[in-house]
Amino acid sequence: MFDSNPDVLAPVAAQSPPSESPAGPLAWFGLAILVIVAFFAFVDRQMLILLTEPIRHDFGLTDTQIGLMQGAGIALFAGVASLPIGWVADRVDRRVVLVACVLVWSAATAICGVTTHFWQLFIATVGLGIGEAGLVPVIYGLIPDLFPARQRVLANAIFALANLLGAGAGMALGGALMQGIAAVHGALPAGLADLAPWRLAFFAVALPAPVLAVLVLLIRPGKHRDTNASAARHRTAAPLPSAPVYFRREAIMMLKFFGAIGLVNLSFGGVATWMPVVAVRTFGATPAEAGGGMGVAAMAGGIAGCVLSGLVAGRMRARFGVLAPLRVCECGALVAGGLSFLYLAVGSLTPVYALFGAQLACMVAGMVLFPTIMQNICPAHLRSRVAAIGALTSIVVQSGSPVFIGFMSDRLHAFSEGLLWSIVCVAAFGFFAACLLMRAAGRGVREAIERYA
């Protein structure tokens, strides 16, 4: 899938010294645990999306309220929370920080199942977002601690691919879980049978939290920590910049780069959040059917995107050098934006699923390489904070998507395809705007990689 040469997509400066030993079995075991943690985070989030229509029916929610719950509740607060989490993760054991995040998001997921009105549910989703905020700064800070630079591209790619497959599998699992709960609901004990199936689904996906916490503590990082920092000091014979100096120097580059990633997430996040609702509301699918169809499409699109990335990025390396991943992402966003308009021509669910998978493949082709860029544009001692700021910038941009789409849908309620038009307009705008920002960010990204990687 990816070129067998581990240096194909790594900048020359980031290649490990010959004396550095490769990662052993414990590192790969740690990566597997991180994949499992991310998978269950996706299950929790996808469950909230799949249960939108039953919750809307029980609580009488408008599309604007749904957008606030999906956007501001999870995305915006997750972005804000990522800053202090990233600051802590650069100073204490990242495993402990990740355990705390797992317990917080699982508790918030369970609380979603006992809410009785919109504002309680909104507060619970805020807790879910805060807990999930640790994933980006902590996990992408841990991977360089587990693997030397020569293996980091592969490790990042494996984690990204597993995440993409996990997102699809999480949606499919959520749909299957809903179907299973509905099948046995009448046979449950009185206390549980009195609860709506969607409430039981929230309880079920919160159960694995203690096991996940124990698994995280089994990770053994540290062997390769700060390898790049030592290499950078050797090359430049100068101390690495402090956090204030770095952020002042690279602020414009980071704003453009992470803003572009945020716009890509805004576009596809809007599609992923609202298309299951379209499947249920417009095409008459059940939440279980929508979850299964979208899940299969997501897994297929994720695999196709990773294959496409491996085929294209290596060839683009010869022309664009260290910017090849950014250019792949730029091209993917351009094609995904054009595909958005085809949703307006569909008349059944099968083309919807196919378009969803195709858009995901285009996005994944570049985004699967994004973590390596993020790790190479900063010194090792600032990775978690840079990842946190990237998450904040990206998520603040992304968080507007569900709200904008919901608001537009409410304004177009008299139009039978108002929700679909709202999704298409927001998605196309975000993808095309992301292309422009990526182009503008290229020079700054190249200089940062040459300076720190």
Q: In this model, does residue 351 exceed pLDDT 70? A: yes
- Whether 4 is covered by a domain: the verdict is no
Exposure pattern of 55-92 as b/e (b: 16+ CB <10 Å)? bbeebebebbbbbbbbbbbbbbbbbbbbbebbebbbee
Indicate the SS3 state at residue 240: coil
pLDDT at 415: 65
Q: Give tens-digit pLDDT for 430-448.
A: 999 999 999 999 999 999 9
Which has more pLDDT, 336 or 413? 336
Q: Give tens-digit pLDDT for 206-237.
A: 999 999 999 999 998 765 554 444 444 444 44
Chain mean pLDDT for the chain: 82
432 class by beta-carbon count within 10 Å (0-12 exposed, 13-18 middle, 19+ buried): middle
Q: Give tens-digit pLDDT for 33-65.
A: 999 998 888 788 778 878 888 888 888 888 888
237 class by beta-carbon count within 10 Å (0-12 exposed, 13-18 middle, 19+ buried): exposed
- Whether 8 is covered by a domain: the verdict is no
- Contact between 165 and 303 under an 8 Å Cβ cutoff? The reply is yes
CA distance 369 to 445: 14
- Whether 18 is covered by a domain: the verdict is no
pLDDT at 29: 92
Q: In this model, does residue 299 exceed pLDDT 50? A: yes
110-124, 224-238, 287-301 — which one is most confidently predicted on average? 110-124
- Whether 10 is covered by a domain: the verdict is no
| 292: its two tokens | 């299964």
Q: Print the domain residue range for 293.
A: 24-452
- Whether 163 is covered by a domain: the verdict is yes
Q: Give tens-digit pLDDT for 367-405.
A: 777 777 887 888 878 887 888 787 777 777 777 777 788
DSSP alpha helix (H) spans, 133-242: 140-146, 149-184, 190-193, 197-206, 209-217, 227-236
Instruction: Say how many domains are in the chain.
Output: 1
**CATH number for the domain harbouring residue 194:** 1.20.1250.20
- Contact between 289 and 175 under an 8 Å Cβ cutoff? The reply is yes
Which has more pLDDT, 441 or 453? 441
- Whether 19 is covered by a domain: the verdict is no
| 371: its two tokens | 């973590």
CA distance 380 to 351: 45
CA distance 67 to 407: 8
CA distance 52 to 287: 9
- Whether 264 is covered by a domain: the verdict is yes
CB atoms within 10 A of CB 165: 20
Share of the chain above pLDDT 90, in %: 22
pLDDT at 410: 85
Global pTM exceeds 0.85: no
- Whether 9 is covered by a domain: the verdict is no
